[in-house]
A = this chain, B = another copy of it.
Amino acid sequence: MKAVTMADVAKHAEVSKSTVSQYLNNRFDYMGEKTRIRIEEAITELGYSPNFVARSLKQKSTMTIGVIVANILHVFSTQVIRAIEDLCNESDFHIIVCNADDDPAKEKRYIDMLRAKQVDGLIVFPTGDNVPLYKRLQNDNYPIVFMDRILQEISIGSVLLDNYKAAEMAVKEFVRTGYRNIGIVSTPVNGITPRGERIEGFKKALESQGLPVNQRYIASANISGIQSTMKEMLALPEPPEAILALNDRVLFEVLKFAKKNQVRIPEDLAVIGIDDVAFAGFYSPTLTTIAQPAFEMGKKAAQLLLDKIRNNEKSCVSEIHRFEPQLISRKSC
């Protein structure tokens, strides 16, 4: 194992530790040419590399942020993570990603762990069930931004999709292509922002299109229960002819269902999914989707967080940043 420290370098170069430290932090202003070279040599000869942990302890900054996603199984999460990472790289920040698995207890553990690790800030897709904890973070003036979800009880800078519009786009597209009996399938709302807002937007859009809102066309079940829920819905005397899948995982279930029951898309059932899944472009039929600008959203969140970290405690505006969804029109409706 390696054990060469700054002291070793200093000794080897015959200077003091502080001079080496200066060197490492690129403060050559007052450093003699010969000193610099000696240090340089000592470092390469010894194969020295600085210890971040020690530095972090002293500086009270780890140059690391934590990202807690509610559920890593969504494409959206993974795209956002990549965007955050990209932006952080530019500023020499590192990220630690944790997956709460939709479990508030897990989320809490991760938040505690990350704070113990002294990360400089947090981007979280809140599960929603840790309000006291979020409140404490906010009171401590700890840099944090929410992603994808907001909580009424609390105002923290957030970035999320214009979910109403996303649902509206889907409804309009269905209407444009001639459908009237339109359904939506979702996982249980449980106060989770995108789900609630998309269903809300769905109803509003139906109304503004002069279509009735049929509660039986609004289904919500756990991932594992979606298929049977769909079965029920399609067994209705007058079943829906079109289905909006609330997100990528729901879409998977809808497609599985269709495959298993030989429901033809779009002839028997038109489908639009929110989230542009990887295979949308070559599925049969190709899938009409509503894409989230995940990349820009991730960048924005990272930007907001880094700003907060830098301007510690001022400019802690807790605005909500909404992003525009995009309709990608293909052949499933």
- Interface residues of chain A, those whose CB is within 8 Å of chain B, are 1-2, 47, 49-54, 56-57, 62, 72, 78, 82, 85, 94, 96-97, 99, 112-113, 115-118, 136, 140-142, 252, 255-256, 258-260, 278-279, 281-284, 286, 312
- Say how far A21's CB is from chain B's closest CB, in angstroms: 15
Q: A116-B50, A284-B284 given as contacts; is B252 within 8 A of A278 (CB)?
A: yes
Q: How far is the CB of A170 from chain B (nearest CB, A)?
A: 21
Contacting residue for A252 out of B57, B118, B141, B279, CB 8 A: B279
Q: Contact: B284 with A115, CB < 8 Å? A: no
* Contact B116–A49 (Cβ < 8 Å): yes
Task: Please name all residues of chain B whose beta carbon is closer than 8 Å to the beta carbon of A62 when the two chains form the complex.
Answer: 53
Complex copy number for this chain: 2
Q: Is the CB of B49 within 8 A of A57?
A: no
Report if A283-B281 is in contact (Cβ < 8 Å); known contacts: A52-B118, A96-B96, A112-B49.
Answer: no
Q: A50-B116, A113-B94 are in contact. Are A142 and B1 (CB under 8 A)?
A: yes
The answer, among B49, B99, B117, B258, for a CB contact under 8 Å with A53, is B117
In angstroms, Cα B72 to Cα A72, docked, is 13
CA distance A72 to B260 in the complex (A): 31
A118 and B51 within 8 A (CB): yes
Choose among B56, B140, B141, B255 the residue that contacts A282 (Cβ–Cβ < 8 A): B255
* A113 surroundings in chain B (CB, below 8 A): 94
Q: Quick check: A116 and B51 within 8 Å, CB to CB? A: yes
In the complex, residue of chain B having the shortest beta-carbon distance to the beta carbon of A115: B49
